[in-house]
A and B are shown apart, each in its own frame.
Chain A
């Protein structure tokens, strides 16, 4: 008998959500994760549970994100119960502030197009300066307007990761931290997971190794053309509550600190910060909220997104190595609920939304050919 029915490779938000979903379905799961300093987008992200503007070119991705946002309260409650941690989920609607009329106009046009593609079921509105001010009195004079969507919210992503680690163990799964998985081999009686410190067998493998997927996927007949995309983020000292809705670039976290993001840069595997980008992010934040000027910045950081060529998730099952699947995405906070509640079921053969196959990696071959 194999060491486990499912080997999940990667203990970030994606791997842990899948592992939790599998373990709660009674599957015997082992998670393989790296140690303290692995690249981990799950440790450096912005914490938004965000639907607006997702899937502008792929309406099914928008549906999927929205489904996840709807499943989030249940996930939060369940994880809260097993871990005794309040994940600080709040979904009061989200605001995307604009400092530039043209930029705002273009964003509204994109959102209207998406709404049409979704048959009109896509709630959002554009608010002018004064209307935004009624929701957030603290905005500065340079804010021209904002997109507001009731679908959006935010959560404490670090507590989410911790709660998933607690929950996964609580559900009976094993988590093996240590050296990275070097190799995965497929034999007639299943899979072998090779690490520097041993070899484990599994009936099924789910690749959730973030940026590590690119190297591992071809070993088991999968394709994961993901590359790092750096985001830089600022966090301030704690302040008393002043901002009770999340905005796309500035939000106040549960402890009171103000988190300010973020950039999108191709910087290879360099997760350091750069002064120009951080200064620009800081500058933009003071234009959104001039009263933040005197608040102290405690830390800045860079983290690497796991980016597919079109920015959308890749969910795939191996044709050549049955039992192997791949789960990777850019918005692993937002999608955590869908991953745990729906995708884990899809992996073990349960019914799933009929649009799942649009997320297969073969779309990249088609895009290239076309």
Chain B
């Protein structure tokens, strides 16, 4: 589900860019920003469906408190997108319901 309504960048020109993917689609982000911010700027307002009812959720607090920004990052399930800074080549995926037990860390 791709949203056409993007968050817009104020200082569009400045900053180094970083390339990542979300559900296989390329996303261009700014170095230093968080995964949640990058996804919002790319129009991905929801990054997960809850394990309770399957309803869609997206970042709510952006300060690490609500856990509604959870996504899978580089194979690691349920990472807080708003607390994780983007890195070049990052592979980000949607969380659909409960995680698999063996979606492990890439480390």
Contact = CB atoms under 8 A, between A and B. Distances in A.
Contacts of B77: 294
A296 B99 CA distance: 10
A293 B104 contact: yes
A242 B98 CA distance: 12
Interface string B83-107: 0000000000000011111111100
Contact of A294 (B51, B97, B104): B104
A256 B77 CA distance: 15
Given A294-B76, A294-B77, A296-B78, A238 B105 contact: no
Given A238-B51, A256-B51, A295 B101 contact: yes
B99 A239 contact: yes
A240 B98 CA distance: 6
Interface in B68-84: 76-78
B78 A237 contact: yes
A129 B103 CA distance: 25
A138 B102 CA distance: 10
Interface residues of B, number: 13
Interface residues of A, number: 15
A292 interface: yes
Contacts of A242: 100-101
Contacts of B105: 294
Given A256-B51, A294-B105, A239 B76 contact: no
B31 to A, nearest CB: 27
A237 B78 CA distance: 9
A201 B10 CA distance: 73
Given A237-B78, A238-B51, A256-B51, A294 B103 contact: yes
A234 to B, nearest CB: 15
Given A238-B51, A256-B51, A296-B78, A291 B101 contact: yes
B27 to A, nearest CB: 24
Interface in A194-244: 237-240, 242
B51 A292 contact: no
A237 B100 CA distance: 11
A138 B76 CA distance: 19
A238 B53 CA distance: 13
B42 to A, nearest CB: 26
Contacts of A237: 78, 98-99
B73 to A, nearest CB: 12
A137 to B, nearest CB: 11
A239 B98 contact: yes
Nearest to A236: B101
A111 B77 CA distance: 41
Interface string A235-277: 0011110100000000000011010000000000000000000
A140 to B, nearest CB: 13
A207 B59 CA distance: 50
Most chain-A Cβ atoms within 10 A of its Cβ — which of B76, B99, B100, B103?
B99
A255 B51 CA distance: 9
Contacts of A255: 51
A114 B78 CA distance: 46
A246 to B, nearest CB: 16
Contact of B99 (A138, A238, A293): A238
Nearest to B77: A294
B78 A240 contact: no
Contacts of B104: 291, 293-294
Nearest to B97: A240
B57 to A, nearest CB: 14
A182 B76 CA distance: 53
Given A256-B51, A294-B105, A240 B100 contact: yes
Question: Which 9 residue pairs across A and B have the least CB separation, nearest first?
Answer: A238-B98, A294-B104, A238-B51, A239-B101, A242-B101, A256-B98, A291-B102, A240-B98, A240-B100
17 contacts: A138-B101, A237-B98, A237-B99, A238-B98, A239-B98, A239-B99, A240-B97, A240-B98, A240-B100, A255-B51, A256-B51, A291-B104, A294-B76, A294-B77, A294-B102, A294-B104, A295-B99
Given A240-B98, A295-B101, 9 more contacts: A238-B51, A238-B98, A238-B99, A239-B101, A240-B99, A242-B101, A256-B51, A258-B101, A296-B78
